[in-house]
C-alpha cells in the first residue's frame, strides 16, 4: 500500500495549537506512508486538487486527511479520492480539530495527540478494503406524519413535485395549532383564512392520501423502502358515508364531553366535528362520553344520520403502506403549567393558557369570538398576561426560550383592545424577544398604539379576591413591587415536544433531545435532515418555531424528499455487517440485539447460522460488539481495524 | 431411602426415554469424582458410588448440554447447575424439552483445593487412600495417617452464598426441597480486591496471571462458553489476542471471558475450579455479576423466560434513567 497523509492547518484553527509540520514529519515514518504534506485548507479547491494530484503522480493507494470532524468533510474527501480513481473507502480521516486543537491549549501535548490520531488512521487504512455500493429500488412515495402547518406545507410541496403522499394525523382534523389560532402575528390576518384553503388543498389533491385520527403503529425498512403500519383509530362513524352535515352533533344528548379543539374552553357532544373548517369534515365519537359506548342506552346519532354512517361496532384498523421517505412534522404541545403552584396550579378558572385565550378570541370558538371569563361569562376589563411560564425556567426543567410567546402575547394584547376597547392589558415579561421581519415593530405597536402596559419582571403569586384575581409581581426596571387586580390572567405557556414524540422517534430510529425535540442532522447544514437516511423533519417538532419558519421547513423537507427520490434507485451504504459462517455457532445473540431486525437465522446443512440482510442493516455495529467469537463483522469497522487503531494508540 | 438411592431410581426410570443421563461417578482417586454418561441400566451402579457421595458432586454437568442439543438427555443437577441450564434455555442455546432435569436437595459440594490445602505439609490428594463422611466431618486416611476435616471448612465458597440449593427447575426431584435459605450475596470476596489501589490491583492481576499456562481449562469448563472451537482466543481474524507468552495477553483473555459472560454468568465457579494454576478468575466474573444486578436488576439463571440484559436492544433501559428531566 502507498499511503499519502495530508495534515490540515484549517487556517489557524488547527495550526495555532498543533505543530503541523512536526505531525507531517512523524507521519513520514509511519508504515506504508510514502508521502506526507501539510495543507492550509485541505477542503478548499486547491487543497482537494493537491490530494488528487498526489494520488495520480505518486500512485497513492490510500489517503489519510488529518483535519476536522468526519461528520462534516468525510463525504467531501471521499469524493476527492474517488475523482482521482481510488475507491472511496480507501480513505481515513483523523479529527485533529474538534478532538485536539479546539480542546487543548498545550501545543506539545496537542502535537503528540495529533500524531497518535494520524497513526491510528494510518493503521486502520492499512486494513481497509475496497467496498462497492449496491443499488436498491426506491418507492416514490412519502409519509408525512402530522398535519400541522409544517406537515401540510411539506405534503403540498411534495405533491406539487409529482410525489405521492400519505399523511397521518393523530387528531380527527388536520390543521394543528394554527387551526386553533384566531389571528396571526405579525400581520394580524385571520388564521383560518390563511390555513383553511391549504387544508382544502390537502383534501382535494389527488396525490395526497389522508389518514386522520390515525397513528403510526410501526415502521420498518430503510431509506427508499419503509414499510409503515398505520393504526386508524375507531371513530365509530363510517367516514366514507359521513357527509359532515353535523345533524348528529345537534341531537347527541351527551353534551358534556371535553372539547379538545377548544382546549376545554367549552363543552361538546360525544359525537363531534371539531370545527367548521375541519379536514376531513367528518364526525367522530368520543367513546368515553358516548352513552351507548360506555354501556348505557342511546343510539340517537345512528337514528338521526341520514347516510347510516354511525357504526358503534367499529374497531381500530391497521393498514400498511410502503414509502421511500418520511417527513416528521408532529409539532409541539404546551407544557403542563399546573406545576406552577404560585399561579394557582389550575385551580382558578380565570387563569387560562394562551391557547385557550386564542379560542376565546376566535369567532369559531365557544364564545363566538366574544371574550368572556370562564368563571362567570363576564367581559374582562383588566387582563394580565404573564410571559415565560415554562420557558427560560430551569427550576421546572425548561431552560429554553419557546421563541413565539413574546410575539403572540403582543398579538393577544392588541386583539384584546380590538375586542374590548375600554380594556387594559398588562404584560409581565423577562425580555422582549422579537427578531424577525416586522416583529419588533409589532411589539412596539402593542405598547405604543394599543397601550398595553409592559412590566419587566416576574409574577410571584396570583390569588383570588372576590371575583378578581390579585397578581403580585415586581417591576425590576423601577425596582418596585406591583400588585394588580385582574379580571383574567393569560399565561404564555411555553411549548415542549408533542406528547408522543420520543416514542415516535424510536419508531423512526431518529434521535431526540432531553425535551423530546427531534435532532437535526447538523444544526447549521442539515436543519431538516436527521441522521437516519430518508427521514426528514419539518416545523416545531425539531424545536419551537413560529408559522413562517415552520412553513419554510415544510418546503425545505419537501425539497429534500424530492431530491432523494428523484432517482428510482438509491445507492446502498456498503458499510454493513456480514457473518463468517465458518465462525458462527448459531447462538443468535446478534439476532436478538439488532435493533433493525436485519439478521435472520438460516439453516446451513443442519446447522443454525446467522445471516445479515444487507439492505436492512444500518451498520450500527451492535451485533459485532455482541458476537463473542467475532463471527459477525462490520465492513470498514472490523474488529481487526478497531484493534489496529487501539494497538497504534497503546504503543505510542 | 438415601438421596442417592432415590436418584438412582429416578435415573433408571428416565433412561428409556433419553439418549443418556449425565451424573457423577468415581474418578482418579478417592477424592476426585468425574462425570458419567449412563446409557444402560448397569451404568447406573457407578452413580455417586464414591466416598464423598453427593458432597463430591462438584462438576457442573450442564457443561455438556449445548453439544448434545438435538438429542434428548437427562442430567442430574445441584441447585447451581440448574441455574446454568436455566440460562442456557433463556438464551435458547438448548431446548427445554430436550433435557430431563433431575434435582435433589444439595447440601453443598466440596472444594478440593481447600481439602488439599488442609492436608499435612507435602502430602497430595492422590495419596489419599480412603475417605468417608461421618456426620459433619470428612475422615481421610493417608496410608496409616488419619485426619478429619470439618465439612464446613472444605465446602465451596459458592455454597455459603447459595440461595438455590434445590434446582430452580426440574422434571424429577429426589427427596424434598428444603426452604430456600435467606442469604444475601454481599460480594465479600471482592472487598479485599477493591480495597487495593488501581496500581496494586493491576500488580495483583499481573502476579496471578503470570502463572496462567493458557490451557483454557477455565473456558472449557464454563457451561455458558458455547463458542468452543470458535473462541476468539485462537483466532487471527479477528485477532483479539496474540499467542505470545505475555501476562497482558493472558489477562486480556480473562477480561474477554468475563465480558462475554457479563449478564450470563451464574457464578457456578467452574472456571476457577478448573484452573490448574489456582488463579482466582471468578473474581472478575463476580465483579460483572454484581454490576449487572445493580444496573439491570438481573440475576442470571433464575428464569427461563427472562431476557439477558446485554442480549437485547432497548432504546431506554428500565433501570438506567438517562433522560430523567422532570
Ligand atoms: C397561543 C399561541 C399563539 C400563537 N400564535 C402564532 C402567531 O400568531 N403566528 C405564528 O407565526 N405562530 C404562532 N404560534 C406558533 C404556531 O402555533 C406554531 O408555529 C405552528 O403551529 C407550528 O406548526 P407545526 O406544524 O410545526 O406544529 P403543530 O401545529 O403542533 O402541528 C402538529 C400536528 O401533528 C399532529 N401530531 C402530533 N403528534 C403526532 C403523531 N404522533 N402522529 C400523527 N400526528 C401527530 C398534531 O395533532 C398536529 O396536528 C402560536 C403558538 C401559540 C401557543
Ligand atoms: S450492524 Fe449488526 S446489529 Fe447493526 S443493523 Fe447491521 S446487522 Fe443489525
Ligand atoms: S452452590 Fe448451592 S447448589 Fe451449588 S453446590 Fe453449593 S449449595 Fe449446592
Ligand atoms: S464464567 Fe465461570 S462462574 Fe461464570 S458461568 Fe462460566 S464457569 Fe461458571
Ligand atoms: S484455566 Fe487458569 S491457567 Fe488455564 S487458561 Fe484459564 S486462567 Fe489460564
Dist. CA B30–CA B131, nearest whole Å? 6
pTM beyond 0.80: no
- Taking the Cβ of residue B238 and every Cβ of chain A, the question of whether any pair is shorter than 8 Å is answered with yes
Nearest residue (CA) to ligand 3, atom 4: B80
Q: Looking at per-residue confidence, does B66 or A616 come out higher?
A: B66
Q: How far is CA A125 from CA A61, A63, A618, in A?
A: 10, 8, 22
Query: Are the C-beta atoms of B39 and B19 separated by less than 8 Å?
Result: yes
pLDDT, mean over chain B:
92
Q: Check residue A224 and report its DSSP letter.
A: T
Residues A440 and A503 in one domain: no
Q: Which run of H or of E encompasses A484?
A: strand A480-486
Q: Which run of H or of E encompasses A525?
A: none
Residues A476 and A578 in one domain: no
Residues A410 and A463 in one domain: yes
Residue A238 domain-assigned (yes or no): no
Reported as a single tens digit per residue, the pLDDT across B185-217 is 889 999 999 999 999 999 999 999 999 999 999
Greatest Cα pair distance in chain B: 75
Residues A339 and A474 in one domain: yes
- Distance (angstroms) between ligand 3 centre and the Cα of B153 equals 15
Query: Are the C-beta atoms of A389 and A494 separated by less than 8 Å?
Result: yes
Residues A110 and A52 in one domain: yes
pLDDT, mean of residues B294-305? 94
Residue of B270, B272, B292, B301 best suited for mutating to test ligand 4, as the one with most atoms within 8 Å of CB: B270
Residue A171 domain-assigned (yes or no): yes
Q: Which residues of chain A have pLDDT under 70?
A: 652
Residues A326 and A340 in one domain: no
Dist. CA A80–CA A431, nearest whole Å? 48
- The pLDDT, as a whole number, for residue B322 is 65
Please say if the pLDDT value at position B247 is more than 60.
Answer: yes
A 300-339 residues inside an 8 A Cβ radius of B = none
Please say if the pLDDT value at position B325 is more than 50.
Answer: no
CATH number for position A627:
3.30.70.20
Q: Choose the final residue of a domain: A533, A564, A595.
A: A564
Contact B92 A588 (CB under 8 A): yes
Residues A435 and A342 in one domain: yes
Q: How far is CA A635 from CA A129, A575, A621, A624, B86, in A?
A: 8, 5, 10, 10, 35
* A353 phi and psi angles, rounded to 5 deg: -90, 165
How far does the CA of residue A394 sit from the closest CA of chain B (Å)? Answer: 10
Query: Are the C-beta atoms of A365 and A352 separated by less than 8 Å?
Result: no
Query: Are the C-beta atoms of B1 and B25 separated by less than 8 Å?
Result: no
Atom of ligand 2 nearest to the CA of B313: 3
Residue A431 domain-assigned (yes or no): yes
* B255 phi and psi angles, rounded to 5 deg: -70, -40
Please say if the pLDDT value at position B315 is more than 80.
Answer: no
Reported as a single tens digit per residue, the pLDDT across A389-446 is 999 999 999 999 999 999 999 999 999 999 999 999 999 999 999 999 999 999 999 9
Reported as a single tens digit per residue, the pLDDT across A322-343 is 999 999 999 999 999 999 999 9
CATH number for position A15:
3.40.50
Please say if the pLDDT value at position B2 is more than 70.
Answer: yes
CATH number for position A202:
3.50.50.60
Range of the structural domain that residue A118 is part of: 3-126
Dist. CA A623–CA A631, nearest whole Å? 9
> Which residues in chain B have Cβ-Cβ distances shorter than 8 Å to A630?
232, 235, 237-238, 240
- Taking the Cβ of residue B91 and every Cβ of chain A, the question of whether any pair is shorter than 8 Å is answered with yes
- The pLDDT, as a whole number, for residue A566 is 95
Residue in A closest to B323 by C-alpha = A514
b/e code B63-82 from CB counts within 10 Å (16+ = b): bbbbebbeebbbbbbbbbbb
A104 grid coordinates: 487543548
Residues A369 and A433 in one domain: yes
Residues A599 and A520 in one domain: no
Dist. CA A565–CA B45, nearest whole Å? 75
A186 grid coordinates: 405579525
- The pLDDT, as a whole number, for residue B101 is 98
Contact B313 A640 (CB under 8 A): no
Contact B235 A628 (CB under 8 A): no
- The pLDDT, as a whole number, for residue B326 is 40
Residue in A closest to B229 by C-alpha = A583
| Residue percentage of chain A with pLDDT more than 90 | 92
b/e code A570-606 from CB counts within 10 Å (16+ = b): bebbbbbbbbbeebbbbbbbbbbbbebebbeeeeeee
Residue A82 domain-assigned (yes or no): yes
Q: Choose the final residue of a domain: A546, A564, A582.
A: A564
Query: Which residues sit with their C-beta closer than 6 Å to ligand 2?
Result: A 576-577, 594, 596, 598-599, 612, 617-623, 634
Residues A226 and A355 in one domain: no
How far does the CA of residue B27 sit from the closest CA of chain A (Å)? Answer: 32
Q: How many domains does chain A have?
A: 4
Residues A369 and A472 in one domain: yes
DSSP-based three-state secondary structure for A229: strand
Query: Which residues sit with their C-beta closer than 6 Å to ligand 1?
Result: A 145-151, 168-171, 176-178, 181, 184-185, 215, 329-332, 354-355, 358, 404, 408, 411, 498, 500, 504, 539-540, 545-548, 550
How far does the CA of residue B162 sit from the closest CA of chain A (Å)? Answer: 28
ipTM of this predicted structure: 0.86
- Taking the Cβ of residue A585 and every Cβ of chain B, the question of whether any pair is shorter than 8 Å is answered with yes
Residues A551 and A465 in one domain: no
| Residue percentage of chain B with pLDDT more than 70 | 98
pLDDT, mean over chain A:
95
Amino acid at each position: 500500500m502507498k499511503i499519502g497523509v495530508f495534515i490540515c492547518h484549517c487556517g489557524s484553527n488547527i495550526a495555532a495549537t498543533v505543530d503541523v509540520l512536526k505531525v507531517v514529519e512523524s507521519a513520514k515514518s509511519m508504515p506504508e506512508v510514502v508521502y506526507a504534506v501539510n495543507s492550509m485548507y485541505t477542503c478548499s479547491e486547491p487543497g482537494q486538487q493537491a490530494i488528487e494530484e498526489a494520488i495520480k503522480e505518486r500512485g497513492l493507494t490510500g489517503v489519510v486527511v488529518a483535519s476536522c470532524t468526519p461528520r462534516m468533510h468525510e463525504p467531501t474527501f471521499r469524493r476527492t479520492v474517488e475523482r482521482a480513481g481510488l475507491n472511496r473507502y480507501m480513505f481515513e480521516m483523523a479529527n485533529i480539530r474538534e478532538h485536539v486543537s479546539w480542546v487543548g491549549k498545550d501545543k506539545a501535548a496537542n502535537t503528540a495527540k495529533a500524531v497518535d490520531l494520524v497513526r491510528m488512521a494510518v493503521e486502520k487504512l492499512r486494513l481497509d478494503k475496497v467496498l462497492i455500493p449496491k443499488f436498491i429500488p426506491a418507492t416514490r412515495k412519502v409519509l408525512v406524519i402530522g398535519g400541522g402547518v409544517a406537515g401540510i406545507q411539506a405534503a403540498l410541496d411534495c405533491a406539487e413535485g409529482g410525489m405521492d403522499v400519505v399523511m397521518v394525523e393523530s387528531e380527527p382534523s388536520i390543521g394543528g395549532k394554527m387551526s386553533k389560532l384566531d389571528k396571526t402575528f405579525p400581520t394580524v390576518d385571520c388564521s383560518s383564512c390563511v390555513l383553511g384553503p391549504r387544508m382544502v388543498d390537502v383534501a382535494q389533491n389527488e396525490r395526497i392520501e389522508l389518514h386522520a385520527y390515525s397513528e403510526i403503529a410501526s415502521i420498518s425498512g430503510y431509506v427508499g423502502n419503509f414499510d409503515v403500519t398505520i393504526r386508524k383509530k375507531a371513530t365509530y362513524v363510517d367516514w366514507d358515508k359521513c357527509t359532515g352535515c353535523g345533524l348528529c352533533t345537534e341531537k347527541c344528548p351527551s353534551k358534556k364531553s371535553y372539547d379538545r379543539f377548544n382546549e376545554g374552553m367549552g363543552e361538546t357532544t360525544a359525537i363531534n366535528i371539531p370545527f367548521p373548517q375541519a379536514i376531513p369534515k367528518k364526525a367522530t365519537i368520543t367513546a368515553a362520553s358516548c352513552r351507548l359506548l360506555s354501556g348505557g342506552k342511546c343510539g340517537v346519532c345512528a337514528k338521526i344520520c341520514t347516510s347510516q354512517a354511525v357504526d358503534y361496532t367499529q374497531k381500530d384498523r391497521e393498514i400498511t403502506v410502503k414509502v421511500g421517505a418520511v417527513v416528521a412534522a408532529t409539532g409541539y404541545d404546551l407544557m403542563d403549567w399546573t406545576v406552577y403552584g404560585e399561579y394557582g396550579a389550575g385551580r382558578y378558572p380565570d387563569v387560562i393558557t394562551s391557547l385557550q385565550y386564542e379560542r376565546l378570541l376566535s369567532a369559531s370558538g365557544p364564545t363566538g369570538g366574544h371574550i368572556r371569563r370562564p368563571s362567570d361569562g363576564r367581559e374582562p376589563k383588566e387582563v394580565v398576561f404573564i410571559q415565560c411560564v415554562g420557558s427560560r425556567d430551569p427550576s421546572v426543567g425548561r431552560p429554553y426560550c419557546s421563541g413565539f410567546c413574546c410575539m403572540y402575547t403582543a398579538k393577544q394584547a392588541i386583539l384584546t383592545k380590538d375586542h374590548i376597547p375600554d380594556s387594559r392589558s398588562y404584560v409581565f415579561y423577562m425580555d422582549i424577544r422579537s427578531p424577525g421581519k416586522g416583529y419588533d415593530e409589532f411589539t412596539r405597536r402593542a405598547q405604543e398604539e394599543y397601550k398595553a402596559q409592559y412590566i419587566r419582571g416576574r409574577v410571584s403569586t396570583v390569588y383570588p379576591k372576590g371575583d378578581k384575581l390579585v397578581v403580585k409581581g415586581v417591576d425590576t426596571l423601577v425596582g418596585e413591587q406591583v400588585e394588580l387586580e385582574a379580571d383574567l390572567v393569560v399565561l404564555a405557556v411555553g411549548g415542549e415536544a408533542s406528547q408522543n414524540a420520543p416514542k415516535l422517534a424510536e419508531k423512526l430510529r431518529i434521535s431526540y433531545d432531553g425535551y423530546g425535540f427531534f435532532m437535526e442532522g447538523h444544526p447549521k447544514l442539515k436543519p431538516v435532515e436527521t441522521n437516519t437516511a430518508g427521514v426528514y423533519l419539518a416545523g416545531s417538532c425539531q424545536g419551537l418555531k413560529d408559522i413562517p419558519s415552520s412553513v419554510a421547513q415544510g418546503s425545505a423537507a419537501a425539497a429534500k424528499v424530492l431530491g432523494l427520490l428523484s432517482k428510482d434507485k438509491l445507492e446502498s451504504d456498503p458499510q454493513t455487517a456480514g457473518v463468517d459462517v465458518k465462525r458462527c455457532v448459531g447462538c443468535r445473540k446478534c439476532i436478538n440485539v439488532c435493533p433493525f431486525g436485519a439478521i435472520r437465522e438460516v439453516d446451513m446443512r443442519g446447522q443454525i447460522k446467522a445471516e445479515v440482510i444487507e439492505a436492512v442493516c444500518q451498520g450500527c455495529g451492535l451485533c459485532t460488539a455482541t458476537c463473542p467469537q467475532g463471527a459477525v463483522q462490520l465492513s470498514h469497522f472490523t474488529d481487526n481495524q478497531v484493534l489496529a487503531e487501539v494497538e497504534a494508540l497503546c504503543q505510542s | 431411602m438415601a438421596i442417592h438411592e432415590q436418584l438412582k431410581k429416578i435415573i433408571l426410570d428416565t433412561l428409556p426415554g433419553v439418549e443418556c443421563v449425565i451424573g457423577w461417578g468415581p474418578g482418579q482417586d478417592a477424592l476426585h469424582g468425574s462425570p458419567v454418561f449412563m446409557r444402560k441400566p448397569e451404568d447406573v451402579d457407578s452413580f455417586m458410588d464414591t466416598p464423598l457421595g453427593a458432597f463430591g458432586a462438584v462438576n457442573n454437568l450442564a457443561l455438556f448440554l449445548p453439544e448434545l442439543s438435538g438429542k434428548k438427555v437427562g442430567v442430574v443437577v445441584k441447585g447451581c447447575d440448574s441455574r446454568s441450564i436455566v440460562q442456557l434455555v433463556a438464551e435458547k442455546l438448548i431446548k427445554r424439552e430436550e433435557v430431563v432435569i433431575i434435582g435433589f436437595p444439595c447440601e453443598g459440594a466440596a472444594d478440593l483445593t481447600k481439602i488439599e490445602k488442609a492436608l499435612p505439609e507435602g502430602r497430595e490428594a492422590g495419596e489419599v487412600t480412603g475417605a468417608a463422611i461421618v456426620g459433619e466431618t470428612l475422615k481421610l486416611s493417608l496410608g496409616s495417617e488419619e485426619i478429619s476435616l470439618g465439612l464446613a471448612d472444605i465446602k465451596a465458597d459458592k455454597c455459603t452464598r447459595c440461595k438455590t440449593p434445590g434446582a430452580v427447575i426440574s422434571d424429577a426431584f429426589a427427596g424434598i426441597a428444603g426452604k430456600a435459605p435467606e442469604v444475601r450475596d454481599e460480594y465479600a470476596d471482592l472487598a479485599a480486591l477493591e480495597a487495593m489501589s488501581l496500581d496494586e490491583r493491576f500488580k495483583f492481576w499481573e502476579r496471578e496471571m503470570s502463572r496462567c499456562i493458557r490451557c483454557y481449562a477455565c473456558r472449557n469448563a464454563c457451561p455458558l462458553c458455547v463458542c468452543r472451537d470458535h473462541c476468539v482466543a485462537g483466532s487471527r481474524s479477528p485477532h483479539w489476542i496474540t499467542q505470545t507468552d505475555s501476562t497482558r495477553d493472558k489477562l486480556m483473555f480473562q477480561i474477554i471471558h468475563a465480558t462475554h459472560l457479563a449478564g450470563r454468568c451464574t457464578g457456578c465457579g467452574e472456571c476457577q475450579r478448573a484452573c490448574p494454576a489456582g488463579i482466582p478468575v471468578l473474581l472478575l466474573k463476580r465483579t460483572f455479576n454484581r454490576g449487572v444486578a445493580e444496573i439491570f436488576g438481573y440475576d442470571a439463571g433464575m428464569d427461563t423466560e427472562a431476557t439477558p440484559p446485554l442480549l437485547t436492544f432497548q432504546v431506554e433501559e428500565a433501570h438506567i434513567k438517562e433522560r430523567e428531566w422532570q
